[in-house]
């Protein structure tokens, strides 16, 4: 029998509102004592974090056998001064389904424009290769970003990344430009559990300006962040990539990592 049932039985036995008031106070004090004894909000956060970590482990144990792509990102922050930072972004993408490999190198500069707004400039160079046919081509991509953000609570942060890309493909007469909009919600643990520090989820839409239509969607239903060293952090994430084809939307699953290094 739970505490609520016992309280009701005592009230019926006593037959008075005064007894109900006394029993209510006693029950609230017992609840507070239990919460305090088990660590209060910190314990609740730890339990939620452990369930998030367990869920991600289960996801990783089930998905890799059917994962269509593997993505690896690395951010090397080489310089930082007050509100400005600069570094090199590296990325690799292996599509196990159609045998394509993408490699990217991108020097980038970021600056805090306002307390709630960051800006960024980048110049990306990509090599895209079809492993089966052996064909490859280069892509150049200047980039401009304006990224608002806000703290919904001390532990909950919302980021909105907005990027304009001007894409030039080797041997192509048309420059294909696109807009990218990504919402990301991140919850930082009040107290880290070992190296585990954060849970996040995101949704990004990519709009092809030359076609005037949405061409791709990238959903991260769950991702985890880890403090791997004094100057390094690592994200592990699962992503669903949906790409528009002439006939329908094609969906692929991705397992990815994102390593950030600060020198």
Confidence (pLDDT) at 66: 61
Q: Which domain holds residue 69?
A: 60-262
Write out residues in the chain with pLDDT < 70, as ranges.
Answer: 1-66, 173-174
The answer to whether residues 32 and 102 belong to one domain is no
Confidence (pLDDT) at 98: 76
The answer to whether residues 98 and 213 belong to one domain is yes
The answer to whether residues 33 and 132 belong to one domain is no
The answer to whether residues 80 and 186 belong to one domain is yes
User: What is the Cα 22 distance to its own chain's centre?
Assistant: 48
The answer to whether residues 30 and 97 belong to one domain is no
The pTM (predicted TM-score) of the whole model is 0.77
Secondary structure string (H, E, C) spanning 57-105: HHHHHHCHHHCCEEEEEEEEEEEEECCEEEEEEEEEEEECCCCEEEEEE
Looking up residue 126, the CATH number of its domain turns out to be 2.40.160.40
Sequence-separated (6 or more) residues with CB below 8 Å from residue 156: 185, 186, 187, 188
The answer to whether residues 79 and 203 belong to one domain is yes
149-163: per-residue pLDDT in tens? 999 999 999 999 999
Question: In the chain, how many domains are there?
Answer: 2
192-208: per-residue pLDDT in tens? 999 999 999 999 999 99
Q: What percent of the chain has pLDDT over 70?
A: 74
Q: What is the three-class DSSP state of 138?
A: strand
| 49 found inside a domain | no
| 185 found inside a domain | yes
CB-based contact 86:75 (threshold 8 Å) = no
The answer to whether residues 76 and 176 belong to one domain is yes
Sequence-separated (6 or more) residues with CB below 8 Å from residue 28: none
Angle at CA of residue 142, ends 139 and 145, nearest 5°: 135
| 180 found inside a domain | yes
End-to-end, the C-alpha distance of the chain in Å comes to 59
| 150 found inside a domain | yes
| 42 found inside a domain | no
Q: What is the dihedral of CA 235, 223, 188, 92, to 10 degrees?
A: 30
| 214 found inside a domain | yes
Confidence (pLDDT) at 260: 98
| 22 found inside a domain | yes
Q: In angstroms, what is the C-alpha Rg of the chain? A: 25
88-127: per-residue pLDDT in tens? 999 999 987 777 899 999 999 999 999 999 999 999 999 9
The answer to whether residues 122 and 228 belong to one domain is yes
Average pLDDT of the chain is: 84
Q: Six-digit token pair at 178?
A: 């696109």
């Amino acid at each position: 029998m739970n505490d609520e049932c016992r309280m009701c039985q005592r009230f019926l036995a006593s037959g008075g509102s005064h007894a109900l008031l006394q029993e209510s106070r006693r029950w609230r004090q017992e609840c507070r004592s239990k919460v305090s004894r088990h660590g209060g909000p910190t314990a609740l956060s730890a339990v939620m974090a452990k369930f998030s970590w367990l869920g991600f482990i289960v996801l990783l144990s089930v998905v890799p056998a059917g994962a269509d792509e593997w993505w690896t990102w690395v951010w090397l922050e080489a310089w930082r001064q007050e509100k400005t930072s600069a570094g090199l972004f590296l990325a690799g993408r292996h599509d196990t389904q159609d045998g394509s490999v993408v490699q990217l190198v991108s020097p980038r500069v970021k600056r805090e424009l306002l307390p709630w707004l960051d800006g960024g400039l980048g110049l990306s160079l990509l090599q895209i290769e079809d492993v089966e046919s052996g064909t490859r081509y280069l892509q150049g991509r200047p980039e401009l970003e304006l990224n608002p953000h806000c703290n919904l609570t001390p532990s909950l942060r919302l980021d909105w990344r907005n990027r304009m890309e001007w894409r030039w493909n080797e041997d192509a007469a048309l420059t294909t430009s696109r807009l990218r909009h990504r919402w990301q919600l991140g919850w930082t643990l009040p107290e880290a559990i070992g190296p585990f520090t954060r849970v996040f989820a995101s949704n990004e839409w990519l709009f092809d300006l030359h076609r005037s239509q949405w061409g791709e969607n990238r959903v991260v239903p769950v991702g985890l962040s880890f403090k791997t060293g004094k100057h390094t952090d690592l994200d592990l994430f699962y992503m669903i990539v949906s790409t528009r084809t002439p006939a329908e939307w094609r969906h692929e699953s991705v397992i990815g990592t994102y390593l950030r290094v600060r020198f």
